[in-house]
């Protein structure tokens, strides 16, 4: 007889669902979850998915949507879903999408003015979402998803 281990439901918090398989640890890093984190965190990797084959999931108790950096998560997991949980029920679902302008990470070009000691806020214009390509507003270089992820 095969035994199945189930992760218990959370009373209040968020569930990041439909994460690309193998990306959960990158997202944990973005969320600043480590051994000092006070919330209970459940990480599920390589979970069966009818639509994707396999996926990753993160459950975080007592975390609010405002506490997440959705735009950074979107770069790694553009088709993920954030489920808001209250009293064990999903009260809201939000699909994550890549913003038109990425202004939360520095330009990967070390020579760009945004990486100098100038008071210039980074601004990457998304030219294409699949595969992701974003152009720096200042140096005009185009970067891939992999190059952007390195700067998160």
pLDDT, one tens digit per residue, over 26-39 is 898 888 887 777 78
| Phi, psi at 64, each rounded to 5° | -110, 155
Q: What pLDDT does residue 36 have? A: 76
Q: What pLDDT does residue 66 have? A: 77
Q: Write down the pTM of the prediction.
A: 0.82
- pLDDT-flagged residues of the chain (< 70): 1-6
Q: Is 130 helix (H, G, I), strand (E, B) or coil?
A: coil
| Residues 6+ away with beta carbon under 8 Å from 113 | 120, 138, 139
Q: How does pLDDT run across 69-97, given as a tens digit for each residue?
A: 888 899 999 889 999 999 999 999 999 99
Q: What pLDDT does residue 101 have? A: 94
């Amino acid at each position: 007889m095969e035994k199945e281990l189930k992760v218990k439901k959370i009373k209040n918090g968020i569930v990041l669902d439909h994460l690309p398989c193998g990306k959960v640890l990158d997202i944990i890093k973005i969320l600043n979850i480590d051994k000092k984190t006070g919330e209970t965190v459940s990480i599920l990797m390589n979970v069966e998915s009818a639509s994707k084959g396999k996926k990753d999931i993160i459950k975080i108790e007592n975390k609010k949507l405002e506490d997440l950096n959705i735009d950074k998560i979107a770069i790694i997991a553009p088709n993920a879903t954030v489920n808001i949980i209250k009293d064990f029920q999903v009260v809201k679902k939000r699909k994550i999408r890549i913003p038109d302008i990425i202004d939360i990470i520095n330009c990967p070009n070390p020579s760009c003015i945004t990486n100098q000691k100038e008071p210039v806020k980074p601004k990457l214009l998304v030219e294409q979402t699949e595969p992701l390509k974003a152009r720096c507003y200042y140096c005009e270089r185009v970067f891939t998803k992999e190059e952007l992820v390195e700067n998160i």
